[in-house]
Structure 1
Amino acid sequence: MSAVDGRAIVVTGAGRGLGAAFAADLAGAGAAVVVNDVDAAAADAVAAEIRTAGGCAVADPHTVADPEQAAAIVERCVAEFGAIDGLVNNAGLTYEAMPWEDDPVRARAVVEVNVLGVVYTGLAAIRHMRAAGRGSIVNVSSGAALGQRTIGVYAASKGAVASLTYSWALDLEDSGIRVNAICPKAYTRMVSGSARASRHTPPEHTPDRVAPLVRFLVSDRAAGITGQLVRCTGSELHIVGQPYFKAPILRRESWDVDSVERAFVEVFGAHLEPFGLEKRLPSRLRKWLGPARSA
Protein backbone atom coordinates (compact mmCIF):
# COMPACT_ATOMS: atom_id res chain seq x y z
CA MET A 1 0.00 0.00 0.00
CA SER A 2 1.37 3.41 -0.99
CA ALA A 3 1.30 6.51 1.18
CA VAL A 4 -1.60 7.99 -0.82
CA ASP A 5 -3.57 4.79 -1.42
CA GLY A 6 -7.27 5.50 -0.96
CA ARG A 7 -6.77 9.22 -0.41
CA ALA A 8 -9.01 11.75 -2.17
CA ILE A 9 -7.00 14.53 -3.79
CA VAL A 10 -7.87 17.54 -5.94
CA VAL A 11 -5.35 18.73 -8.52
CA THR A 12 -6.21 22.05 -10.15
CA GLY A 13 -4.99 22.97 -13.62
CA ALA A 14 -4.56 19.26 -14.32
CA GLY A 15 -5.56 19.20 -17.98
CA ARG A 16 -1.95 19.32 -19.14
CA GLY A 17 1.65 19.89 -18.06
CA LEU A 18 2.55 19.73 -14.41
CA GLY A 19 -1.01 19.23 -13.20
CA ALA A 20 -1.62 16.30 -15.53
CA ALA A 21 1.64 14.70 -14.39
CA PHE A 22 0.74 15.21 -10.73
CA ALA A 23 -2.75 13.74 -11.20
CA ALA A 24 -1.49 10.70 -13.10
CA ASP A 25 1.26 10.04 -10.56
CA LEU A 26 -1.10 10.30 -7.58
CA ALA A 27 -3.71 8.10 -9.22
CA GLY A 28 -1.05 5.58 -10.17
CA ALA A 29 -0.13 5.36 -6.50
CA GLY A 30 -3.73 4.60 -5.51
CA ALA A 31 -5.27 8.01 -4.85
CA ALA A 32 -8.71 9.01 -6.08
CA VAL A 33 -8.17 12.21 -8.03
CA VAL A 34 -10.31 15.13 -9.15
CA VAL A 35 -8.73 16.34 -12.39
CA ASN A 36 -9.70 20.02 -12.52
CA ASP A 37 -9.19 22.27 -15.54
CA VAL A 38 -11.21 25.02 -17.20
CA ASP A 39 -10.44 23.20 -20.46
CA ALA A 40 -13.11 20.56 -19.95
CA ALA A 41 -11.96 18.42 -22.86
CA ALA A 42 -8.40 18.34 -21.54
CA ALA A 43 -9.60 17.43 -18.04
CA ASP A 44 -11.80 14.67 -19.46
CA ALA A 45 -8.90 13.30 -21.49
CA VAL A 46 -6.53 13.16 -18.50
CA ALA A 47 -9.19 11.55 -16.29
CA ALA A 48 -9.95 9.00 -19.02
CA GLU A 49 -6.27 8.11 -19.38
CA ILE A 50 -6.03 7.59 -15.63
CA ARG A 51 -9.07 5.30 -15.60
CA THR A 52 -7.76 3.35 -18.60
CA ALA A 53 -4.55 2.76 -16.65
CA GLY A 54 -6.59 1.36 -13.75
CA GLY A 55 -6.73 4.49 -11.62
CA CYS A 56 -9.63 6.40 -10.12
CA ALA A 57 -10.33 9.90 -11.45
CA VAL A 58 -13.14 12.28 -12.31
CA ALA A 59 -12.90 15.45 -14.38
CA ASP A 60 -14.05 18.87 -13.19
CA PRO A 61 -14.28 22.00 -15.40
CA HIS A 62 -14.80 24.75 -12.81
CA THR A 63 -12.54 27.78 -12.60
CA VAL A 64 -10.54 28.45 -9.44
CA ALA A 65 -10.84 32.21 -10.05
CA ASP A 66 -14.44 32.31 -8.80
CA PRO A 67 -15.06 31.50 -5.12
CA GLU A 68 -18.27 29.56 -5.72
CA GLN A 69 -16.78 27.53 -8.54
CA ALA A 70 -13.62 26.89 -6.52
CA ALA A 71 -15.77 25.56 -3.68
CA ALA A 72 -17.60 23.37 -6.21
CA ILE A 73 -14.31 21.69 -7.12
CA VAL A 74 -13.79 20.69 -3.52
CA GLU A 75 -17.43 19.63 -3.10
CA ARG A 76 -17.08 17.41 -6.18
CA CYS A 77 -14.23 15.60 -4.47
CA VAL A 78 -16.25 15.11 -1.28
CA ALA A 79 -19.33 13.98 -3.20
CA GLU A 80 -17.42 11.50 -5.36
CA PHE A 81 -14.95 10.13 -2.83
CA GLY A 82 -16.37 10.99 0.59
CA ALA A 83 -13.58 13.34 1.67
CA ILE A 84 -10.80 15.64 0.57
CA ASP A 85 -7.46 14.54 1.97
CA GLY A 86 -5.18 16.56 -0.28
CA LEU A 87 -5.19 19.63 -2.49
CA VAL A 88 -2.60 20.50 -5.11
CA ASN A 89 -3.07 24.15 -6.10
CA ASN A 90 -1.44 24.01 -9.52
CA ALA A 91 -3.68 26.11 -11.79
CA GLY A 92 -1.80 29.10 -13.14
CA LEU A 93 -1.36 31.64 -15.91
CA THR A 94 1.66 33.55 -17.14
CA TYR A 95 2.74 35.90 -19.92
CA GLU A 96 5.74 38.06 -20.73
CA ALA A 97 5.74 41.87 -20.88
CA MET A 98 7.95 44.74 -19.90
CA PRO A 99 6.33 46.86 -17.17
CA TRP A 100 5.73 49.89 -19.40
CA GLU A 101 3.96 47.68 -21.95
CA ASP A 102 1.96 45.53 -19.54
CA ASP A 103 -1.78 45.08 -19.87
CA PRO A 104 -3.90 45.56 -16.71
CA VAL A 105 -6.49 43.10 -17.99
CA ARG A 106 -3.92 40.33 -18.38
CA ALA A 107 -2.34 41.25 -15.06
CA ARG A 108 -5.69 40.97 -13.30
CA ALA A 109 -6.35 37.55 -14.85
CA VAL A 110 -3.00 36.26 -13.59
CA VAL A 111 -3.67 37.48 -10.05
CA GLU A 112 -7.21 36.07 -10.07
CA VAL A 113 -6.03 32.59 -11.05
CA ASN A 114 -2.58 32.41 -9.45
CA VAL A 115 -3.39 34.08 -6.13
CA LEU A 116 -7.15 34.22 -5.57
CA GLY A 117 -7.55 30.78 -7.13
CA VAL A 118 -5.22 29.34 -4.50
CA VAL A 119 -7.07 31.25 -1.77
CA TYR A 120 -10.57 30.26 -2.87
CA THR A 121 -9.84 26.57 -3.43
CA GLY A 122 -7.69 26.40 -0.32
CA LEU A 123 -10.32 27.95 1.94
CA ALA A 124 -12.96 25.50 0.71
CA ALA A 125 -10.64 22.54 1.26
CA ILE A 126 -9.47 23.77 4.67
CA ARG A 127 -13.01 23.80 6.04
CA HIS A 128 -13.41 20.10 5.25
CA MET A 129 -9.89 19.20 6.36
CA ARG A 130 -10.25 21.02 9.66
CA ALA A 131 -13.46 19.14 10.40
CA ALA A 132 -11.63 15.89 9.69
CA GLY A 133 -8.59 16.92 11.73
CA ARG A 134 -6.14 16.20 8.94
CA GLY A 135 -5.11 17.10 5.42
CA SER A 136 -2.29 18.32 3.21
CA ILE A 137 -2.11 21.25 0.80
CA VAL A 138 0.64 21.67 -1.77
CA ASN A 139 0.71 25.07 -3.46
CA VAL A 140 2.68 25.71 -6.63
CA SER A 141 4.90 28.76 -6.32
CA SER A 142 7.92 29.56 -8.49
CA GLY A 143 11.54 30.59 -8.31
CA ALA A 144 10.32 33.66 -10.22
CA ALA A 145 9.11 34.96 -6.86
CA LEU A 146 12.73 35.91 -6.21
CA GLY A 147 12.52 38.30 -9.16
CA GLN A 148 12.69 37.58 -12.87
CA ARG A 149 12.70 39.79 -15.95
CA THR A 150 9.60 40.31 -18.13
CA ILE A 151 7.20 38.37 -15.88
CA GLY A 152 6.78 40.77 -12.98
CA VAL A 153 3.07 40.14 -12.37
CA TYR A 154 3.53 36.37 -12.50
CA ALA A 155 6.52 36.64 -10.16
CA ALA A 156 4.47 38.74 -7.73
CA SER A 157 1.63 36.23 -7.81
CA LYS A 158 3.99 33.37 -6.97
CA GLY A 159 5.56 35.40 -4.17
CA ALA A 160 2.06 35.82 -2.77
CA VAL A 161 1.57 32.05 -2.93
CA ALA A 162 4.77 31.54 -0.93
CA SER A 163 3.66 34.05 1.73
CA LEU A 164 0.22 32.44 1.89
CA THR A 165 1.86 29.05 2.36
CA TYR A 166 3.92 30.25 5.33
CA SER A 167 0.89 31.91 6.95
CA TRP A 168 -1.48 29.00 6.44
CA ALA A 169 1.14 26.60 7.79
CA LEU A 170 1.24 28.63 11.00
CA ASP A 171 -2.54 28.92 11.25
CA LEU A 172 -3.28 25.26 10.52
CA GLU A 173 -0.47 23.38 12.27
CA ASP A 174 -2.62 22.72 15.34
CA SER A 175 -5.49 21.54 13.12
CA GLY A 176 -3.49 18.66 11.66
CA ILE A 177 -3.25 20.30 8.25
CA ARG A 178 0.13 20.69 6.58
CA VAL A 179 0.75 23.37 3.97
CA ASN A 180 3.83 23.38 1.75
CA ALA A 181 4.72 24.83 -1.65
CA ILE A 182 6.92 23.78 -4.52
CA CYS A 183 8.96 25.72 -7.06
CA PRO A 184 8.98 23.39 -10.07
CA LYS A 185 11.11 23.86 -13.14
CA ALA A 186 9.63 21.97 -16.05
CA TYR A 187 9.13 22.37 -19.77
CA THR A 188 5.35 22.66 -20.14
CA ARG A 189 2.88 24.11 -22.62
CA MET A 190 2.50 27.21 -20.41
CA VAL A 191 6.14 28.17 -20.93
CA SER A 192 6.98 26.46 -24.22
CA GLY A 193 5.89 29.47 -26.29
CA SER A 194 8.10 31.93 -24.45
CA ALA A 195 11.63 32.96 -25.30
CA ARG A 196 12.54 32.13 -21.69
CA ALA A 197 11.72 28.45 -22.23
CA SER A 198 14.58 27.88 -24.66
CA ARG A 199 17.00 29.88 -22.53
CA HIS A 200 16.21 28.53 -19.09
CA THR A 201 14.14 25.34 -19.26
CA PRO A 202 15.67 22.44 -21.24
CA PRO A 203 13.08 20.04 -22.70
CA GLU A 204 14.42 17.20 -20.52
CA HIS A 205 12.97 18.99 -17.49
CA THR A 206 9.67 17.15 -17.83
CA PRO A 207 6.72 17.47 -15.43
CA ASP A 208 6.76 13.79 -14.43
CA ARG A 209 10.14 14.33 -12.76
CA VAL A 210 8.57 16.79 -10.32
CA ALA A 211 5.58 14.57 -9.51
CA PRO A 212 7.31 12.43 -6.82
CA LEU A 213 7.93 15.57 -4.74
CA VAL A 214 4.22 16.43 -4.81
CA ARG A 215 3.23 12.86 -3.92
CA PHE A 216 5.63 12.89 -0.97
CA LEU A 217 4.43 16.25 0.36
CA VAL A 218 0.75 15.40 0.08
CA SER A 219 1.26 12.04 1.84
CA ASP A 220 1.78 11.04 5.47
CA ARG A 221 5.41 10.28 4.63
CA ALA A 222 5.89 14.04 4.98
CA ALA A 223 4.36 14.10 8.47
CA GLY A 224 5.76 17.03 10.44
CA ILE A 225 6.87 18.89 7.31
CA THR A 226 4.94 22.13 6.89
CA GLY A 227 5.61 25.74 5.91
CA GLN A 228 8.34 24.73 3.46
CA LEU A 229 9.08 25.97 -0.05
CA VAL A 230 10.84 23.24 -2.04
CA ARG A 231 12.41 23.69 -5.47
CA CYS A 232 12.67 20.78 -7.88
CA THR A 233 14.12 20.89 -11.39
CA GLY A 234 13.92 17.17 -11.98
CA SER A 235 17.59 16.65 -11.19
CA GLU A 236 17.98 19.16 -8.32
CA LEU A 237 16.01 19.25 -5.09
CA HIS A 238 16.48 21.87 -2.40
CA ILE A 239 14.74 24.03 0.19
CA VAL A 240 14.18 27.69 -0.64
CA GLY A 241 15.19 29.93 2.24
CA GLN A 242 12.63 32.29 3.70
CA PRO A 243 13.25 36.05 3.76
CA TYR A 244 14.77 37.26 7.00
CA PHE A 245 15.67 40.47 8.83
CA LYS A 246 19.32 41.00 8.02
CA ALA A 247 21.96 42.27 10.43
CA PRO A 248 23.24 44.81 11.22
CA ILE A 249 20.19 46.42 12.79
CA LEU A 250 20.72 50.11 13.49
CA ARG A 251 18.84 51.77 16.34
CA ARG A 252 18.18 55.36 17.29
CA GLU A 253 15.29 57.18 18.92
CA SER A 254 13.99 58.47 15.58
CA TRP A 255 15.09 58.62 11.95
CA ASP A 256 15.08 61.53 9.54
CA VAL A 257 16.13 61.61 5.91
CA ASP A 258 19.70 62.67 6.72
CA SER A 259 20.23 59.90 9.29
CA VAL A 260 18.72 57.32 6.93
CA GLU A 261 21.10 58.44 4.20
CA ARG A 262 24.08 58.17 6.57
CA ALA A 263 22.97 54.67 7.50
CA PHE A 264 23.13 53.64 3.85
CA VAL A 265 26.39 55.46 3.11
CA GLU A 266 28.22 54.35 6.24
CA VAL A 267 26.74 50.92 6.97
CA PHE A 268 24.09 49.46 4.69
CA GLY A 269 25.99 50.20 1.48
CA ALA A 270 28.24 47.24 2.25
CA HIS A 271 25.27 44.97 2.96
CA LEU A 272 22.97 45.57 0.00
CA GLU A 273 21.44 42.35 -1.29
CA PRO A 274 21.86 41.00 -4.82
CA PHE A 275 18.35 40.75 -6.26
CA GLY A 276 16.43 38.56 -8.66
CA LEU A 277 17.15 35.01 -9.77
CA GLU A 278 20.21 36.30 -11.61
CA LYS A 279 21.49 37.79 -8.32
CA ARG A 280 22.05 41.22 -9.81
CA LEU A 281 23.98 43.61 -7.61
CA PRO A 282 22.50 47.03 -6.77
CA SER A 283 24.04 49.85 -8.81
CA ARG A 284 25.92 51.24 -5.81
CA LEU A 285 27.73 47.92 -5.31
CA ARG A 286 28.42 47.53 -9.02
CA LYS A 287 30.04 50.96 -9.02
CA TRP A 288 32.21 50.12 -6.02
CA LEU A 289 33.25 46.66 -7.16
CA GLY A 290 33.90 47.55 -10.79
CA PRO A 291 32.92 45.50 -13.87
CA ALA A 292 35.25 42.58 -13.22
CA ARG A 293 33.92 41.80 -9.74
CA SER A 294 30.26 42.72 -10.28
CA ALA A 295 29.69 40.72 -13.47
Structure 2
Amino acid sequence: MPASEQRVAIVTGGARGIGAATALRLAADGHAVAVVDLDRGAAAATARQITAAGGRALAVGADVADEAQVAAAVARVEEELGAPTILVNNAGVLRDNLLFKMSSLDWDTVMGVHLRGAFLMAREVQRHMVAAGFGRIVNLSSSSALGNRGQANYAAAKSGLQGFTKTLALELGKFGVTVNAVAPGFIATDMTAATAARTGVAFEEFKARAAASVPVRRVGAPEDVADAIAYFTGPRAGFVSGQVLYVAGGPLG
Protein backbone atom coordinates (compact mmCIF):
# COMPACT_ATOMS: atom_id res chain seq x y z
CA MET A 1 0.00 0.00 0.00
CA PRO A 2 1.41 3.45 -0.86
CA ALA A 3 2.49 5.45 2.17
CA SER A 4 0.03 8.20 1.23
CA GLU A 5 -2.87 5.75 1.66
CA GLN A 6 -1.73 4.17 4.91
CA ARG A 7 -3.14 4.99 8.30
CA VAL A 8 -0.55 5.48 11.02
CA ALA A 9 -0.96 3.54 14.26
CA ILE A 10 0.79 3.96 17.58
CA VAL A 11 1.06 0.97 19.90
CA THR A 12 2.42 1.69 23.36
CA GLY A 13 4.20 -1.07 25.22
CA GLY A 14 4.80 -2.54 21.78
CA ALA A 15 8.13 -4.22 22.47
CA ARG A 16 6.78 -7.59 23.56
CA GLY A 17 3.71 -9.63 24.46
CA ILE A 18 0.31 -8.24 23.52
CA GLY A 19 1.85 -4.99 22.30
CA ALA A 20 4.23 -6.68 19.88
CA ALA A 21 1.51 -9.02 18.59
CA THR A 22 -0.74 -6.00 18.04
CA ALA A 23 1.94 -4.02 16.23
CA LEU A 24 2.59 -6.96 13.91
CA ARG A 25 -1.13 -7.50 13.30
CA LEU A 26 -1.81 -3.85 12.50
CA ALA A 27 1.15 -3.81 10.13
CA ALA A 28 -0.22 -6.94 8.42
CA ASP A 29 -3.51 -5.05 8.05
CA GLY A 30 -1.67 -2.42 6.04
CA HIS A 31 -0.96 0.25 8.64
CA ALA A 32 2.30 2.01 9.33
CA VAL A 33 3.12 1.33 12.96
CA ALA A 34 5.02 3.29 15.59
CA VAL A 35 6.19 0.95 18.34
CA VAL A 36 6.47 3.03 21.51
CA ASP A 37 8.11 1.50 24.56
CA LEU A 38 10.26 2.42 27.51
CA ASP A 39 12.74 -0.15 26.15
CA ARG A 40 13.62 1.32 22.77
CA GLY A 41 15.96 -1.55 21.92
CA ALA A 42 13.20 -4.12 22.32
CA ALA A 43 10.79 -1.85 20.43
CA ALA A 44 13.30 -1.73 17.58
CA ALA A 45 13.23 -5.52 17.37
CA THR A 46 9.45 -5.43 16.84
CA ALA A 47 9.81 -2.65 14.28
CA ARG A 48 12.44 -4.68 12.40
CA GLN A 49 10.02 -7.61 12.10
CA ILE A 50 7.54 -5.26 10.46
CA THR A 51 10.01 -3.74 8.03
CA ALA A 52 11.44 -7.16 7.17
CA ALA A 53 7.94 -8.16 6.05
CA GLY A 54 7.72 -5.08 3.84
CA GLY A 55 5.88 -2.75 6.22
CA ARG A 56 6.65 0.70 7.55
CA ALA A 57 7.55 0.98 11.21
CA LEU A 58 9.29 3.21 13.68
CA ALA A 59 10.63 2.41 17.15
CA VAL A 60 10.31 5.19 19.70
CA GLY A 61 11.63 5.10 23.24
CA ALA A 62 9.37 6.95 25.67
CA ASP A 63 7.90 6.84 29.14
CA VAL A 64 4.16 7.27 28.55
CA ALA A 65 3.73 8.72 32.04
CA ASP A 66 6.04 11.64 31.15
CA GLU A 67 4.20 14.51 29.45
CA ALA A 68 7.22 15.90 27.61
CA GLN A 69 8.29 12.47 26.34
CA VAL A 70 4.78 11.74 25.08
CA ALA A 71 4.66 15.03 23.16
CA ALA A 72 8.10 14.37 21.66
CA ALA A 73 7.19 10.79 20.73
CA VAL A 74 3.99 11.76 18.90
CA ALA A 75 5.77 14.62 17.12
CA ARG A 76 8.41 12.20 15.89
CA VAL A 77 5.77 9.75 14.66
CA GLU A 78 4.04 12.53 12.75
CA GLU A 79 7.32 13.66 11.20
CA GLU A 80 8.58 10.22 10.16
CA LEU A 81 5.44 8.18 9.47
CA GLY A 82 2.62 10.71 9.25
CA ALA A 83 -0.20 11.93 11.47
CA PRO A 84 -1.37 9.07 13.72
CA THR A 85 -5.08 8.22 13.64
CA ILE A 86 -4.95 4.87 15.46
CA LEU A 87 -3.83 4.58 19.07
CA VAL A 88 -3.53 1.43 21.15
CA ASN A 89 -2.83 2.21 24.80
CA ASN A 90 -1.22 -1.05 25.84
CA ALA A 91 1.73 0.02 28.02
CA GLY A 92 1.51 -1.49 31.47
CA VAL A 93 3.37 -2.63 34.55
CA LEU A 94 2.65 -4.80 37.57
CA ARG A 95 3.48 -3.97 41.16
CA ASP A 96 1.37 -6.65 42.88
CA ASN A 97 1.01 -6.90 46.62
CA LEU A 98 -1.64 -7.17 49.30
CA LEU A 99 -2.94 -3.80 50.42
CA PHE A 100 -1.11 -3.73 53.75
CA LYS A 101 2.19 -4.44 51.98
CA MET A 102 1.64 -2.13 48.98
CA SER A 103 3.81 0.98 48.95
CA SER A 104 2.74 4.38 47.70
CA LEU A 105 5.31 4.00 44.95
CA ASP A 106 3.73 0.69 43.88
CA TRP A 107 0.38 2.47 43.62
CA ASP A 108 1.69 5.57 41.85
CA THR A 109 3.78 3.61 39.35
CA VAL A 110 0.84 1.50 38.18
CA MET A 111 -1.52 4.48 38.03
CA GLY A 112 1.09 6.52 36.20
CA VAL A 113 1.70 4.06 33.40
CA HIS A 114 -1.84 2.76 32.91
CA LEU A 115 -4.06 5.77 33.57
CA ARG A 116 -1.83 8.82 33.22
CA GLY A 117 -0.11 7.22 30.23
CA ALA A 118 -3.39 6.51 28.42
CA PHE A 119 -4.60 10.04 29.20
CA LEU A 120 -1.44 11.72 27.93
CA MET A 121 -1.26 9.62 24.77
CA ALA A 122 -4.95 10.05 23.93
CA ARG A 123 -4.85 13.78 24.56
CA GLU A 124 -1.82 14.18 22.31
CA VAL A 125 -3.08 11.99 19.47
CA GLN A 126 -6.75 13.03 19.41
CA ARG A 127 -5.97 16.32 17.67
CA HIS A 128 -4.68 14.41 14.65
CA MET A 129 -7.80 12.26 14.65
CA VAL A 130 -10.12 15.25 14.90
CA ALA A 131 -8.30 16.95 12.02
CA ALA A 132 -8.64 13.80 9.90
CA GLY A 133 -12.28 13.18 10.81
CA PHE A 134 -11.29 9.62 11.66
CA GLY A 135 -9.79 7.96 14.69
CA ARG A 136 -9.57 4.70 16.57
CA ILE A 137 -8.49 4.46 20.20
CA VAL A 138 -8.26 1.11 21.95
CA ASN A 139 -7.39 0.97 25.64
CA LEU A 140 -6.14 -2.24 27.24
CA SER A 141 -8.15 -3.01 30.35
CA SER A 142 -8.11 -6.43 32.03
CA SER A 143 -10.33 -9.02 33.67
CA SER A 144 -8.63 -7.80 36.87
CA ALA A 145 -10.86 -4.73 36.59
CA LEU A 146 -13.52 -6.93 38.18
CA GLY A 147 -11.29 -7.38 41.25
CA ASN A 148 -8.27 -9.55 41.90
CA ARG A 149 -6.53 -10.33 45.18
CA GLY A 150 -3.12 -8.67 45.48
CA GLN A 151 -3.80 -6.22 42.65
CA ALA A 152 -5.60 -3.26 44.24
CA ASN A 153 -3.51 -0.85 42.16
CA TYR A 154 -3.75 -2.76 38.89
CA ALA A 155 -7.47 -3.52 39.27
CA ALA A 156 -8.25 0.11 40.05
CA ALA A 157 -6.23 1.30 37.06
CA LYS A 158 -7.81 -1.19 34.65
CA SER A 159 -11.29 -0.36 35.94
CA GLY A 160 -10.48 3.33 35.54
CA LEU A 161 -9.55 2.74 31.92
CA GLN A 162 -13.05 1.45 31.27
CA GLY A 163 -14.58 4.69 32.55
CA PHE A 164 -11.98 6.65 30.57
CA THR A 165 -12.93 4.70 27.44
CA LYS A 166 -16.65 5.37 27.78
CA THR A 167 -16.11 9.06 28.45
CA LEU A 168 -13.83 9.56 25.44
CA ALA A 169 -16.36 7.73 23.28
CA LEU A 170 -18.94 10.35 24.28
CA GLU A 171 -16.59 13.28 23.74
CA LEU A 172 -14.93 12.24 20.48
CA GLY A 173 -17.69 10.42 18.61
CA LYS A 174 -18.87 13.50 16.71
CA PHE A 175 -15.40 13.82 15.21
CA GLY A 176 -15.43 10.34 13.69
CA VAL A 177 -13.39 8.84 16.52
CA THR A 178 -14.36 5.58 18.20
CA VAL A 179 -12.97 4.54 21.58
CA ASN A 180 -13.16 1.00 22.90
CA ALA A 181 -11.43 -1.21 25.44
CA VAL A 182 -10.21 -4.77 25.31
CA ALA A 183 -9.99 -6.60 28.63
CA PRO A 184 -7.86 -9.76 28.41
CA GLY A 185 -8.14 -12.66 30.81
CA PHE A 186 -5.14 -14.92 31.35
CA ILE A 187 -2.73 -14.37 28.46
CA ALA A 188 0.59 -16.21 28.31
CA THR A 189 3.17 -13.42 28.24
CA ASP A 190 6.43 -12.46 29.94
CA MET A 191 4.32 -10.60 32.49
CA THR A 192 2.31 -13.65 33.52
CA ALA A 193 5.49 -15.73 33.51
CA ALA A 194 6.98 -13.23 35.96
CA THR A 195 3.89 -13.57 38.16
CA ALA A 196 4.33 -17.35 38.18
CA ALA A 197 7.99 -16.99 39.11
CA ARG A 198 7.16 -14.56 41.88
CA THR A 199 4.69 -17.02 43.40
CA GLY A 200 7.11 -19.92 43.08
CA VAL A 201 5.07 -21.89 40.53
CA ALA A 202 6.46 -23.30 37.29
CA PHE A 203 4.95 -21.40 34.35
CA GLU A 204 3.52 -24.51 32.67
CA GLU A 205 1.77 -25.47 35.90
CA PHE A 206 0.62 -21.88 36.35
CA LYS A 207 -0.93 -21.90 32.87
CA ALA A 208 -2.53 -25.32 33.41
CA ARG A 209 -4.19 -24.12 36.61
CA ALA A 210 -5.51 -21.05 34.83
CA ALA A 211 -6.77 -23.06 31.84
CA ALA A 212 -8.78 -25.34 34.13
CA SER A 213 -11.00 -22.39 35.10
CA VAL A 214 -11.48 -21.10 31.53
CA PRO A 215 -14.56 -22.40 29.68
CA VAL A 216 -12.60 -22.99 26.45
CA ARG A 217 -9.98 -24.86 28.53
CA ARG A 218 -6.92 -22.96 27.41
CA VAL A 219 -5.15 -19.74 28.27
CA GLY A 220 -4.96 -16.94 25.76
CA ALA A 221 -2.14 -15.96 23.44
CA PRO A 222 -1.14 -12.38 22.59
CA GLU A 223 -2.53 -12.92 19.10
CA ASP A 224 -6.01 -13.56 20.55
CA VAL A 225 -5.99 -10.05 21.95
CA ALA A 226 -4.41 -8.55 18.85
CA ASP A 227 -7.27 -9.94 16.75
CA ALA A 228 -9.82 -8.13 18.92
CA ILE A 229 -7.84 -4.90 18.77
CA ALA A 230 -7.58 -5.21 15.00
CA TYR A 231 -11.38 -5.33 14.74
CA PHE A 232 -11.83 -2.18 16.82
CA THR A 233 -9.20 -0.31 14.80
CA GLY A 234 -10.65 -1.33 11.45
CA PRO A 235 -13.08 0.44 9.13
CA ARG A 236 -15.94 -1.96 9.92
CA ALA A 237 -16.10 -0.95 13.58
CA GLY A 238 -17.26 2.59 12.91
CA PHE A 239 -20.57 2.11 14.73
CA VAL A 240 -19.04 0.40 17.76
CA SER A 241 -17.79 2.75 20.46
CA GLY A 242 -17.58 2.92 24.23
CA GLN A 243 -17.49 -0.86 24.54
CA VAL A 244 -15.44 -3.19 26.72
CA LEU A 245 -14.70 -6.58 25.17
CA TYR A 246 -13.46 -9.31 27.50
CA VAL A 247 -11.09 -11.62 25.68
CA ALA A 248 -11.04 -14.30 28.34
CA GLY A 249 -12.26 -17.59 26.91
CA GLY A 250 -15.67 -17.25 28.56
CA PRO A 251 -18.11 -14.84 30.21
CA LEU A 252 -16.96 -12.63 33.07
CA GLY A 253 -18.73 -10.20 35.33
The two structures share one fold, judged by TM-score above 0.5: yes
The answer to whether residue 138 in structure 2 is matched with residue 129 in structure 1 is no
Q: Report the Cα offset of residue 72 of structure 1.
A: 2.1
The answer to whether residue 194 in structure 2 is matched with residue 193 in structure 1 is yes
User: How far, CA to CA, are the matches of 2:133 and 2:6 in structure 1?
Assistant: 17
User: How far, CA to CA, are the matches of 1:205 and 1:192 in structure 2?
Assistant: 13
Q: Is the 8 A contact 2:210 2:219 kept in 1?
A: no
Q: Report the Cα offset of residue 73 of structure 1.
A: 2.3
Any gaps of 5 or more consecutive residues in structure 1? 241-276, 278-295
Matching residue within 220, 223, 248 for 1:208:
223
Q: Is the 8 A contact 2:179 2:241 kept in 1?
A: yes
- Name whichever of 11-20 and 65-74 sits farther off: 65-74
| Alpha-carbon displacement from aligned partner over 1:40-67 (angstroms, at most 9, x marks no partner) | 1100111011111222111000110011
Any gaps of 5 or more consecutive residues in structure 2? 213-217
CA 1:108–1:86: 2 relative to 1, 3 Å: same
Q: Report the Cα offset of residue 201 of structure 1.
A: 6.0
Q: Is the 8 A contact 1:34 1:58 kept in 2?
A: yes
Q: Is the 8 A contact 1:73 1:121 kept in 2?
A: no
Other-structure match for 1:220 = 235
Q: After superposition, where does 1:29-48 map in structure 2 within 5 Å?
A: 29-48=29-48
The residue type paired with residue 99 of structure 2 is P
Other-structure match for 2:160 = 160
| Alpha-carbon displacement from aligned partner over 1:66-106 (angstroms, at most 9, x marks no partner) | 11211222222211222112000000011321100111112
Q: Give the ranges of 4+ consecutive aligned residues of structure 1 lying more than 3 Å apart after TM superposition.
A: 201-204
The answer to whether residue 90 in structure 2 is matched with residue 90 in structure 1 is yes
Q: Which has the larger radius of gyration?
A: 1
The residue type paired with residue 217 of structure 1 is F
The answer to whether residue 109 in structure 2 is matched with residue 109 in structure 1 is yes
Q: Alignment partner of 1:193: what SS?
A: helix
- The structure, 1 or 2, with the larger RCO (C-alpha pairs under 8 Å, 6+ apart) is 2
User: How far, CA to CA, are the matches of 1:173 and 1:41 in structure 2?
Assistant: 36
Q: Alignment partner of 1:191: what SS?
A: helix
User: How far, CA to CA, are the matches of 2:134 and 2:29 in structure 1?
Assistant: 20
User: How far, CA to CA, are the matches of 2:211 and 2:119 in structure 1?
Assistant: 28
Q: Report the Cα offset of residue 223 of structure 1.
A: 1.0
User: How far, CA to CA, are the matches of 1:7 and 1:127 in structure 2?
Assistant: 15
Q: Is the 8 A contact 1:9 1:77 kept in 2?
A: no
Q: Is the 8 A contact 2:169 2:241 kept in 1?
A: yes
Other-structure match for 2:60 = 60
The residue type paired with residue 157 of structure 1 is A
| Alpha-carbon displacement from aligned partner over 1:244-294 (angstroms, at most 9, x marks no partner) | xxxxxxxxxxxxxxxxxxxxxxxxxxxxxxxxx6xxxxxxxxxxxxxxxxx
Q: Report the Cα offset of residue 204 of structure 1.
A: 4.8
Q: Report the Cα offset of residue 110 of structure 1.
A: 0.7
CA 1:201–1:93: 2 relative to 1, 3 Å: farther
Identity %: 38
Q: Report the Cα offset of residue 205 of structure 1.
A: 1.7
| Alpha-carbon displacement from aligned partner over 1:102-132 (angstroms, at most 9, x marks no partner) | 1111211111001000000000011111122
Q: Alignment partner of 2:84: what SS?
A: coil
User: How far, CA to CA, are the matches of 1:68 and 1:131 in structure 2?
Assistant: 22
Other-structure match for 1:9 = 9
User: How far, CA to CA, are the matches of 2:61 and 2:140 in structure 1?
Assistant: 19
The residue type paired with residue 6 of structure 2 is G
- Name whichever of 158-167 and 123-132 sits farther off: 123-132
